[in-house]
Amino acid sequence: MQYVSIENNKSPYLSFVEELYHAAFPREERRNWEQLLKMIGTVPEMSMQVILEEEKAIGFVTSWKFDDWCFIEHLAIDPVNRGKKFGERVMKDFMVSRKLLLEVEPPASVDAIRRIGFYERLGLVCLPFDYLHPSYHDSHVSHSLVLMTNVPEREELYFNEIIRSVKKQVYLYHPL
């Protein structure tokens, strides 16, 4: 398995990523595709990588670096390759010497419970405080999500700075 950085909006992998992006994430959990294309290669904190297995695209990950933190904005494996441990391998790669933060839907559906269990089996934990995910589309709308991390600390105060960075740079970034 290998990762190939998408450096600009001319990447041959973008049609695969776009299709998976729209299929894997509900509208409220993804930004406008044209906005995302403008960000690729121009926002230094953001990285988009396509995941390859035997030279075939099987998924993608969008992550952000903030000092000693990594925020995973999106991770998706295409449906035909789910259940083959690719997502687990990606997460283990990202967890090496990094403090991770990511968002998941609250455990209100079978899929959400399954997803939380996936991350918990890898050693991540749900943080015990409320978190509102800002909208990519309407600054006056937000919805509840759950934050997960591989950091042993559980106090909300410890996470305030990284949450502020995520909300400011990930969700309030609007390229011209």
**What average pLDDT score do residues 154-173 get?**
86
CATH of the domain at 25: 3.40.630.30
Question: What are residue 57's DSSP bridge partners?
Answer: 52
Residue 176, domain member (yes or no): no
- Give the pTM: 0.92
Residue 159, domain member (yes or no): yes
Give per-residue pLDDT as tens, 14-39.
Answer: 999 999 999 999 888 899 999 999 99
Domain enclosing residue 127, as ranges: 2-171
> CA-to-CA distance for 174 and 164, rounded, in angstroms?
16
CA distances from 100 to 51, 57, 88, 151 (A): 19, 24, 14, 7
Residue 32, domain member (yes or no): yes
> CA-to-CA distance for 27 and 64, rounded, in angstroms?
20
Give per-residue pLDDT as tens, 139-162.
Answer: 778 889 999 999 988 888 889 999
Give per-residue pLDDT as tens, 90-108.
Answer: 999 999 888 999 999 999 9
Q: How many domains does the chain have?
A: 1
Tokens 């990930």 belong to residue? 170
Output phi, psi for 166, to 5 deg.
-60, -50
Residue 37, number of CB atoms within 10 A of its CB: 18
- Measured over the CA atoms of residue 124, residue 44, residue 136 and residue 77, the dihedral's sign is negative
Residue 70, domain member (yes or no): yes
Residue 143, domain member (yes or no): yes
Residue 69, domain member (yes or no): yes
Residue 97, domain member (yes or no): yes
Output phi, psi for 77, to 5 deg.
-110, 135
Residue 135, domain member (yes or no): yes
